Structure 1
Amino acid sequence: MTHKIAILGASGYTGAELVRLIATHPTMEVAALAANSKAGMKMSDVYPHLRHLNLPDLVTIEEIDFSAIDLCFCALPHKTSQEVIRTLPETLKIVDLSADFRLRDPAAYKKWYGNDHAAPEMQQEAVYGLTEFYREDIKSARLVAGTGCNAATGQFILRPLIGAGVIDLDEIILDLKVGASGAGRSAKELLLTAEMTENATAYSVGGTHRHLGEFDQEFSLIAGRPVEVQFTPHLIPASRGILATGYVKGDAQAVQDALVAAYADEPFIHVLPLGQVPAMKDVRATNLCYIGVVADRRPGRAIVVGTLDNLCKGSSGQAMQNANLMLGEDETAGLMLAPVYP
């Protein structure tokens, strides 16, 4: 059986990444590509690296016949996504890659994104898209809300530790490095080559980053009480990839054991032997996440390092992993790609 797929926002980085992944999928076919600002263009005109694929031309969302679509990926900007999704057929399966449905509480959404939600009833319906922890709910979901790429990385290294009770919940520091594609494809001054080259920049310093809303929501749910981590992201001169370093108070071996137990049967998340740490290129352009634990020189403290590709495991690959479950396909279909190296 072939599943007909539509991608809304196909001209952005995550849209192009979805096309790249679907090209290797055994049962998915791109049936419609929407990019309102580039409607009428060929996808190969926007992304020449996809010219070898037989793809439909870009159209407006209004031109798509959704009755012929089995699943829709929404790779639209935040706020735009909720406006569009609430107009789509109720029978359509949707994986949203924006931030619009990640937070369950409308008040929390307004706090972090500054506006009232246009479809608050759908916030309650949406299933949070961190696949490894919401797998069973995702299988029967109509709407899945993909996580933030930073939020996914931080959660992969910290969720099992909070759940197992092996770290002090009031002493968690998360330092994160992210490549430029995490900021999207729109022109921004800080992403100019002259600004980024030989540079690294901390941003959203002091607890203002919007992905903190996801950390607060998920970590507090696991712990059964409020958990607030210290978190600072940094923009680095790389096109893609995330490296997260967590500083925790807890025994390193207990931290290692909790991570190994949590991910023993997971196809995409791999815990390295104690004392080893991963690098971003280890997982480049894949749906993999590597995690390493090192004992700090101070007894009773540990350092946890995790890495994933922000466009794949942090966004489009995660979206396909969720779509596979929603469509009853093998969860790994189209995603067992080897890393691109060097």
Structure 2
Amino acid sequence: MDRDGRSQALSAGYGKYKLEILSMRFTHSALAVMMLVMMTPPVQAAKRLGPPIEELQSTPDRVRIVAATAGDNSTPGQILFKVSERLSGESPDVIELRTDAESHADVEIGEPYIVAWSYMRRNRAVKGGWEKDPDGPSIVTIMGLGSPALFRQTEELSFLFSPGTIDDPALKAEQLDALLAQMARNDAHARGLAVAELYLREDLAETFSPERAAQLKSLFESSAMTPQHLELLIRAALEVPGELTDPWLAEELRRIIIQHGTQYDLASFVPALVRTAARGLQQTGSAGDIGLLTLLLYSNNPGVAKAATAAMNAIDPDAAAARARQALERGWIHSETRRALTVYLQGGRI
């Protein structure tokens, strides 16, 4: 899948993947951010955006990135930073930035951070679509990930954000090593950045070695992975050469499906995770997976049922048709699933 396709896939799961400036009103729920963005009609077709680090670095005149120490957060909604290194764009030595309540509460005084900030805000009514924010500079957020660009500084992030690193094709192996190491750290916030970067960097798939694939496998086994992060990790892993992920990737996909069953909290990201796992078995599965995929036809999420049908059809069309007919006869399925299976049996299209 090319970058445009990956951007579209990320948009489908996370809302439109783009950078915006955080205002004083921050969304405290990633789901709310996704729903808000998905319900907002675009004024014009948005350009396809790339990996988050690349995007953050793409407009140094508007978004500045620094390594800085948190100096004071006594003012509600604001954090004072003492800049130690300018990674992209210009920045004063000391800057007070507006931020959301959660980041304000979580920041640790005296600790080093990587921060992307801006003194601009979005205003589509003005020429260029941006204007100086009268409320002062603020930390930017990576919309879709639902998180501000404020990361505890690590060796890996310092390397990845260093000027010229992401643009240097000779550093692909080092970039991949840094992303894998950052994802293994106990930092869910920065893990979201790293996993999105890995997924959208399709050029890194060819850089995997058996040792790096083993690191990738260990991430799947981590209980710290959220459904959002795990879903993107599956997508990234499916691009890695199959000889490096066989048979463990298919085993992980089966485990995810078994773990979550067929009835989900539809306001959670679990349906998207199971749907992607089912789609993954379309690529990595075997005839032995027909029984497991059949269970998903009875899911309370039609998208999951459709993905399972497509996977079964790819593995064994005759068995898929038989299981679809059986599900229709039993009648224990979602109405939208019933419509989709009926169409499938009439023309083989799902």
TM-score normalised over the length of structure 2: 0.29
Asked which structure has the greater CA Rg, the reply is 2
- Structure with the higher fraction of residues in strand conformation: 1
Higher relative contact order (CA 8 A, sep 6+): 1
- Structure with the higher fraction of residues in helix conformation: 2
